[in-house]
C-alpha cells in the first residue's frame, strides 16, 4: 500500500516538474502521516495529493491546488481517458475533490505537527562526494558512483528509511554502497567524522535496508564490514568499506 501512494507522488511530481527535493518531502509527509494514522481509514489518494501540494508550497515552485489535483487524478485513472475527460469537464467533481484534498492537507498538517522541515540527504551526498575527494567530472567511476548513490536515495524515499535515520546517515549509506558497486576506493574517515559515532553506528542497518529494496539479504554481514572499517578508521588511504554483493 505504501508503494502505491509513493508511485503516484513520484509520477505526478514528475509531470508537475517538481524537483527531487519536493518529491522527497511529499513522500516524507505521507510516511509521517501514516506513522500515526490508519491507512484503512485515511484515503491514500487524498493524503498523497495533499502531501504533494504541501511539498510544492514548502520546497518551491508552488503549484496551484487544482493543477496538483488534476495531475494526480489523471495518474490515478491512467488508462481511463473517458474518466479523465469527464472529470476535467465537471466543475462540481473538481470542486468536491479539491475540498477533499484541502481537508486532507489540514489533517496532514496536524499529523506532522505543522513542522515543514525535512532534512534532505541529497546535500549531504554532494558534500560527502567532495570530502572523499571524488571527482565525477574527471573520473567516470566516481561519476557512476555519485549517480548510483543519488538513485539509491531516490528509491529510499518509498520506504520509511527517511523516518528511521538522519539525512547524513542515509547519504553516507547510499554512497558507501554505490562506491562498492562501482569499485571506487576512498578514505572514509572524513565521512565518519561528519556523521559522528551514532550515525556511523546506523550505517550498517541503513545499508542492509537499502540493499533489501533490490535483493533481500544482500548485505547480511555488513555489520562485520563496518566494524572492521572502524578499527582502521585512523589509517589514511584505506579503501571503501566493503558492501557484500550477491
* C-alpha distances in Å from residue 144, one per residue of 136, 170, 173, 178, 188: 8, 18, 16, 8, 18
Average pLDDT of the chain is: 84
pLDDT tens, residue by residue, 159-209:
899 999 999 999 999 999 999 888 898 889 999 988 888 777 889 889 888
Cα 94 to Cα 185: distance, rounded to the nearest angstrom: 54
pTM for the full predicted model: 0.78
Contacts of 235 (CB under 8 A, 6+ apart): none
Cα 40 to Cα 167: distance, rounded to the nearest angstrom: 29
Checking if the pLDDT of 123 tops 70, the result is: yes
Checking if the pLDDT of 241 tops 80, the result is: no
Helices (H), the chain: 2-15, 20-34, 44-59, 65-76, 81-89, 91-111, 121-131, 140-156, 161-164, 167-181, 189-212, 222-231
Name the more confident of 82 and 216: 82
Checking if the pLDDT of 220 tops 80, the result is: no
**What is the set of domains in the chain, with CATH numbers?**
2-111 (1.10.472.10), 121-231 (1.10.472.10)
Checking if the pLDDT of 222 tops 50, the result is: no
Task: Give the pLDDT of residue 215.
Answer: 62
Checking if the pLDDT of 221 tops 80, the result is: no
Task: Give the pLDDT of residue 232.
Answer: 37
Mean pLDDT value across residues 64-69 = 96
pLDDT tens, residue by residue, 48-57:
999 999 999 9
Secondary structure class of 182 (helix, strand, coil): coil
Task: Give the pLDDT of residue 122.
Answer: 93
* C-alpha distances in Å from residue 223, one per residue of 40, 117, 141, 183, 196: 36, 31, 25, 19, 17
Mean pLDDT value across residues 20-25 = 90
Task: Give the pLDDT of residue 244.
Answer: 27
Task: Give the pLDDT of residue 99.
Answer: 97
pLDDT tens, residue by residue, 78-110:
999 999 999 999 999 999 999 999 999 999 999
Pick from 98, 104, 108: which is nearest to 28 by CA? 108
Mean pLDDT value across residues 224-234 = 38
Task: Give the pLDDT of residue 216.
Answer: 52
Task: Give the pLDDT of residue 2.
Answer: 79
How confident is residue 138, by pLDDT bands cut at 50, 70 and 90?
Answer: confident
CA angle 116, 196, 138 (to 5 degrees): 85
Amino acid at each position: 500500500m505504501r508503494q502505491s501512494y509513493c508511485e503516484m507522488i513520484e509520477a505526478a511530481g514528475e509531470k508537475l516538474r517538481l524537483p527531487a527535493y519536493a518529491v522527497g518531502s511529499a513522500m516524507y509527509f505521507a510516511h509521517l502521516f501514516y506513522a500515526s494514522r490508519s491507512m484503512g481509514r485515511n484515503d491514500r489518494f487524498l493524503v498523497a495529493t495533499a502531501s504533494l501540494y504541501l511539498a510544492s508550497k514548502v520546497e518551491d515552485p508552488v503549484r496551484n491546488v487544482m493543477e496538483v489535483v488534476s495531475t494526480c487524478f489523471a495518474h490515478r485513472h491512467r488508462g481511463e481517458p473517458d474518466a479523465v475527460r469527464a472529470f476535467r469537464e465537471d466543475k462540481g467533481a473538481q470542486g468536491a475533490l479539491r475540498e477533499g484534498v484541502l481537508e486532507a492537507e489540514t489533517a496532514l498538517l496536524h499529523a506532522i505537527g505543522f513542522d515543514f522541515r525535512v532534512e534532505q540527504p541529497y546535500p549531504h551526498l554532494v558534500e560527502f562526494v567532495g570530502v572523499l575527494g571524488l571527482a565525477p567530472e574527471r573520473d567516470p567511476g566516481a561519476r557512476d558512483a555519485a549517480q548510483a548513490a543519488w538513485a539509491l536515495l531516490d528509491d529510499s524515499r518509498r520506504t520509511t528509511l527517511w523516518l528511521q535515520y538522519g539525512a547524513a546517515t542515509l547519504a553516507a549509506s547510499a554512497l558507501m554502497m554505490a562506491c562498492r558497486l562501482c569499485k571506487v576506493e576512498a578514505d572514509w574517515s572524513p565521512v565518519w567524522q561528519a556523521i559522528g559515532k551514532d550515525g556511523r553506528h546506523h550505517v550498517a542497518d541503513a545499508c542492509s535496508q537499502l540493499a533489501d529494496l533490490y535483493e533481500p539479504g544482500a548485505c547480511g554481514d555488513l555489520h562485520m564490514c563496518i566494524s572492521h572499517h572502524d578499527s582502521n578508521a585512523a589509517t589514511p588511504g584505506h579503501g571503501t568499506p566493503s558492501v557484500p554483493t550477491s
